[in-house]
Amino acid sequence: MAFTLRPYQLEAVDATIKHFRQHPEPALIVLPTGAGKSLVIAELAKRARGRVLVLAHVKELVAQNHSKYCAYGLEADIFAAGLQQKESSGKVVFGSVQSVARNLSLFDGAFSLLIVDECHRISDDDDSQYQQIIQHLQKTNPQLRLLGLTATPYRLGKGWIYQYHYHGITRGDGNSLFRDCIYELPLRYMIKHGFLVPPERLDMPIVQYDFSRLETRSNGLFSEVDLNRELKQQNRITPHIISQIVEYAETRKGVMIFASTVEHAREVHGLLPSGEAALVSAETPPGERDALIEAFKQQQLRYLVNVAVLTTGFDAPHVDLIAIFAPHRVRQPVSADRRARFTAGPRQDRLPDPGLCRQSPRFVHAGSGR
């Protein structure tokens, strides 16, 4: 099944081709979640004359990007241990960062284009897995073109991940990996044109955690030790918050709760109705995690509690309530646009398109002070 690209997706593709015909410098595309980055990636990989490597940091994104490309009736390799596939000889390869970085010798063949999904995750550290891959591919092909895609081009602790915006704005500095932001689509465009539903924040009569005493680290994040200590001092608050969430969730189909830490997530999970909730974290075994997520997607569970593991490559069309039990750590509420997807007309993307979510998703933020 081939897809018909939306106008803005074609604009992003055209902007990329135009840039790389004129400039060798790394380029960045900014598209909000739900805009269909995987289809832009598929179109670029299809049009590329040379070999293409598409990187993502989680297996879900690797599989999603691969499936969109194959929907054109084309074949591509997958190199990701999490998907139990390690093929790297094809013209187009979709790989996980971890698997590729550990097997660089299998990527000695020249690639003309490297596409990095969720590229805001690329570290400045020369020894990072991303940088190792980039440097290895550039040794084989010094003319390698690098394209990054993200919905969040600003990183706390660092700032903008690019230097120049095509509207004439200078944002980053000369140390930015991506020199040019060649295309950006505002979230408001998606909402205005009916591609996303407007998120609605609930002002529920609940008490909130006070995180005002917490200090961020150099990377803009909070220490898990500090978070746990603060939450223990406010342990009477969690039951009140959960009781309000459960009351409101009676008319909701799916509820996602983002906890601050694993310890906090266990506390939250223990307060939810028995048999209706699941908890997934980095400590959850892969097989168990996949089974719990599938049960939630099939609406066998109403609540899904997680700790920063379901913010990328995750899609559950029925979710209509999100509760964020963590302090503000980004320029906009985390995951807010991930449940705002909506299709006013025929679905463009059957797999991840949450066209079933016809109501505006509700958001509750239970952390204050940051």
**Full DSSP string of 46-105:** HH-SS-EEEEESSHHHHHHHHHHHHTTT---EEEEGGGTEE---SSEEEEEHHHHHTTGG
Residue 68 corresponds to which amino acid? Answer: K
Does any domain span residue 321?
yes
Token pair of 150, please? 């993200």
Does any domain span residue 261?
yes
What does residue 225 show for φ and ψ, rounded to 5 degrees? Answer: -65, -45
CATH number, residue 145? 3.40.50.300
Could you tell me the sign of the dihedral formed by the alpha carbons of 285, 286, 287, 289, in that order?
Answer: positive
What does residue 181 show for φ and ψ, rounded to 5 degrees? Answer: -90, 110
Report the SS3 class of residue 277.
strand
Mean pLDDT, the chain, integer: 85
In eight-state DSSP terms, residue 4 is P
Does any domain span residue 277?
yes
Does any domain span residue 192?
no
- Residue 341's contacts (CB-CB under 8 Å, 6 or more residues apart) are 33, 34, 195, 196, 197, 352, 353, 354, 355, 357
248 in the same domain as 152: no
311 in the same domain as 245: yes
Based on the structure, what is the number of domains in the chain? 2
Does any domain span residue 190?
no
Q: Of 155-164, 186-195, 199-208, where does mean pLDDT reach its minimum? A: 199-208
pLDDT, mean of residues 317-324: 88
Does any domain span residue 341?
yes
119 in the same domain as 265: no
Examine the pLDDT at 34 and tell me if it is beyond 70: yes
199-220 b/e with 16+ CB inside 10 Å = b?
A: beebebebebbbbeebeeeeee
Examine the pLDDT at 282 and tell me if it is beyond 80: yes
Q: Which of 153, 185, 217 is the last residue of a domain?
A: 185
Range picked from 66-75, 229-238, 346-355 for highest mean pLDDT: 66-75
297 in the same domain as 164: no
Query: CA-to-CA distance for 284 and 280, rounded, in angstroms?
Result: 6
151 in the same domain as 263: no
241 in the same domain as 106: no
Q: Which of 185, 219, 248 is the last residue of a domain?
A: 185
Does any domain span residue 191?
no
Does any domain span residue 327?
yes
Q: Which of 135, 160, 185 is the last residue of a domain?
A: 185
**Overall pTM > 0.85:** no
364 in the same domain as 218: yes
Question: Hey, how many other C-beta atoms are within 10 angstroms of the C-beta on 365?
Answer: 22
349 in the same domain as 232: yes
Residue numbers of the domain that contains 92:
7-185
